[in-house]
């Protein structure tokens, strides 16, 4: 990814100070700064490590003193480092000499606020280099993940590689974990509700089938004859694109950037695919399902709980996903 697509997240207690640093640093080089106000707790910054746009993080060391929170910038840095060890993290301070010995391994570099104006170009050059190294590390991680999954599918994975695959998946999914704790509770409730709903739908379907069987002329609708599906309007937006039907997690390696993912359901292990897709369609799940929540976080349209998307839609079909109305339309069948 071009570094101009990456953003430096600036955690500041003051919007005015953030604007000043943003102006100085953006004027010094090809870098984009995005202000992040102080949040109630350290865990509330987990999304910065999970956001694919984050290229680096700058943190005001004295957040607790001026923002009314009970933590410091260094504590935020420690937390983010546990989620994404490779992420470049910088501390902004007026007391560079005092905290230099306390930064540990969580901080890439200490930026003295008093020198930002005259040394902005130096800081920007250093940050951009670190961002390039970070992006290269993430790409290497993704390539290795694909290699291991390919070997697993081919039945060629050794015990050591199996362990490496588990560790690599854990590392990729770790930034999403804090937010998933509450999500998981919701998923359990959502799955219970969906199970009840599916049982009700099955009863209705059996009743309809009996009515059809008893009618003078039986009507059978084949999956390939279905052109529209309805579900939950789980994340706003309307897009048209090529569908990719995934039945197993291991099949995510076949997903191409910009495709529309059609899947039974998702969980935290599917998290890496959301940075590649254009929209998501699921068989089960509602507005609090994993796919719905992550799509809203990424700004992707999503229709969940369609009941039969993976049976009706085929890979290569051109589909329209209306996340506002909860409707999926098959615009063109693959090969037609």
* 177-332 under CATH 3.50.30.10, yes or no: yes
Three-class secondary structure of residue 90 per DSSP: strand
- Cβ atoms of 295 and 234 within 8 Å: the answer is yes
CATH fold label, 3-134: Rossmann fold (3.40.50)
What's the pLDDT score for residue 329? Answer: 95
The band of 125, judged by pLDDT with boundaries at 50, 70 and 90, is very high
Contact yes or no for 48/101 (Cβ under 8 A): no
Give the model's pLDDT for residue 236: 93
DSSP codes of every residue in 27-55 = HHSS--EEEEE--SSGGGGHHHHH-TTEE
Domain ranges in the chain are 3-134, 177-332
3-state secondary structure 253-319: HHCCCCCEEEECCCCHHHHHHHHCCCEEEECCCCCCCHHHHHHHHHCCCEEECCCCHHHHCCCCCEE
The tokens for 276 are 């590649």
| Confidence tier at 1 by pLDDT (50, 70, 90) | very low
- Report the range of poorest mean pLDDT among 18-32, 55-69, 142-156, 173-187: 173-187
Residue 90, classified by CB atoms within 10 Å of its CB into exposed (0-12), middle (13-18) or buried (19+), is buried
The region, left, alpha or beta by phi > 0 then psi within -120 to 50, assigned to residue 155 is left
Q: What is the pLDDT of residues 179-230, one digit of tens each?
A: 555 555 555 665 566 666 666 666 656 665 665 555 545 455 566 778 899 9
Same fold, 3-134 and 177-332: no
Q: Say yes or no to pLDDT of 164 above 50.
A: yes
**What predicted TM-score, i.e. pTM, was given to this entire model?**
0.54
Residue in this structure with the two tokens 């003051």, named with its chain if needed: 14
Residue 175 has pLDDT above 80, yes or no: no
Q: Is there a contact between 327 and 303 (Cβ–Cβ < 8 Å)?
A: yes
What's the pLDDT band for 132 if we cut at 50, 70, 90? very high
Q: What is the pLDDT of residue 128?
A: 92
């Amino acid at each position: 990814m071009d570094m101009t697509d990456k953003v430096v997240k600036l955690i500041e207690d003051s919007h005015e100070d953030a604007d000043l640093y943003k102006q100085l640093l953006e004027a010094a080089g090809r870098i984009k700064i995005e202000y992040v106000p102080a949040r109630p707790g350290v865990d509330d910054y987990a999304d910065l490590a999970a956001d694919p746009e984050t290229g680096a993080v700058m943190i005001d060391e004295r957040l607790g003193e001026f923002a009314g929170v009970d933590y410091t910038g260094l504590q935020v840095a420690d937390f983010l480092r546990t989620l994404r060890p490779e992420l470049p993290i910088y501390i902004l301070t007026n007391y560079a000499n005092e905290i230099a010995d306390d930064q540990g391994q969580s901080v890439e570099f200490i930026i003295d606020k008093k020198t930002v104006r005259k040394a902005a170009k130096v800081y920007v050059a250093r940050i951009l280099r670190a961002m390039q190294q970070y992006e290269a590390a993430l790409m290497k991680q993704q390539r290795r993940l694909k290699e291991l999954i390919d070997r697993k599918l081919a039945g060629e994975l050794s015990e050591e590689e199996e362990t490496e695959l588990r560790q690599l998946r854990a590392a990729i999914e770790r930034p999403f974990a804090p937010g998933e704790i509450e999500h998981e509770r919701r998923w359990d409730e959502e799955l219970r509700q969906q199970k009840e709903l599916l049982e009700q739908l099955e009863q209705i379907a059996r009743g309809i089938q009996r009515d059809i069987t008893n009618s003078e002329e039986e009507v059978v609708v084949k999956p390939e004859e279905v052109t529209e599906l309805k579900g939950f309007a789980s994340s706003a937006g309307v897009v048209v694109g090529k569908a990719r039907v995934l039945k197993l997690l291991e099949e995510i390696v076949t997903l191409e950037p910009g495709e529309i993912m059609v899947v039974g359901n998702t969980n935290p292990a599917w998290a890496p695919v959301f940075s590649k897709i254009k929209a998501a369609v699921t068989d089960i799940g509602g507005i609090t399902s994993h796919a719905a929540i992550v799509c809203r976080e990424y700004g992707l349209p999503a229709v969940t709980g369609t009941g039969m998307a993976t049976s009706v839609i085929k890979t290569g079909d051109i589909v329209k996903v209306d996340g506002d109305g909860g409707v999926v339309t098959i615009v063109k069948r693959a090969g037609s």
